[in-house]
Amino acid sequence: MSKLPKKNKKYYWFKLKDDFFTDPKIKKLRRIAGGDTYTVILLKTMLLTLKTDGILVYEGIEKTLAEELALKLDEDDNNVLATLSFMQQMKLLEEIDINTYDIPQVRILTGSESASTSRVRKYREKQKALHCNSQVTERNKNVTTEIENKREEIEKEPLSKSLSLKNKEAFHDFRKRIKSLYLGQPLVKGAPSFLSDTIIELSSFGYLHNTVSNKDLNNEDAFSVWKYIFLNQDKIIPLEKEEK
């Protein structure tokens, strides 16, 4: 588990910017059925992480992060799950380590984000956007060649199947490498057993996506799929994308 950032000052409130409700992301959230409830949960989650500088840690008190957060916030499990899913899709919540998440907006609203940190964050966001656009363009040019090259890269640097899943560092590195190589591509079909007859795709946001239900997997199911892929990586070959 990553260490929480050191803080010299504790915050007990944040300043809500005057454009909060006109922000396209918040407007989109409020237009969803139940969106006003989700907006309240978003704000409550941000308030919960004030003293940790925007860092949210899943402690394992409940089976999933959503259930644990629902317990802490006194909110409905499904409403919290929907809010977390939206926050991840909109990059309002980012996974920085296993069971550790970051809400960058908290530091912005408390004024605890330094000017240099802000510049670095904006630079990284710009570079990431450019990198993603570059990847999409290259895939459109030669999808087959790119997939073959990625397979060869994995074969050159295989992770030993004998590694225990308790070795979080190896598991985390493996998952990170797969995400960087197969972004936006189908990964596995009909596995694990509870996902039979489904195709699991790694979305362009890096989340595991059920192409049958057209929904991202919740944290618990996503972990089960990553575990399956990790333990069976010598048998798993990412699926070819079907031409529409």
Measured in residues, the chain has a length of 244
Do 95 and 50 touch, CB atoms closer than 8 A? no
Structural domains of the chain, ranges and CATH numbers in brackets: 20-110 (1.10.10), 142-231 (no CATH)
Percentage of the chain modeled with pLDDT above 70: 64
Give dist(CA 222, CA 70) in Å, integer.
Answer: 19
pLDDT digits (tens, 9 = 90+) for 73-91: 999 999 999 999 999 999 8
pLDDT digits (tens, 9 = 90+) for 172-222: 888 888 887 877 778 777 666 666 677 888 877 778 888 888 888 887 788
Q: Omega into 192 within 30° of 0, i.e. cis? A: yes
φ, ψ (nearest 5 deg) of residue 89: -65, -35
Residue 95 DSSP SS3: strand
**pTM for this prediction:** 0.47
- How far apart (Å, rounded) are the C-alpha atoms in residues 43 and 35? 12
Q: Which residues contact 1 (CB under 8 A, 6 or more apart)?
A: 57, 97, 98, 99, 100
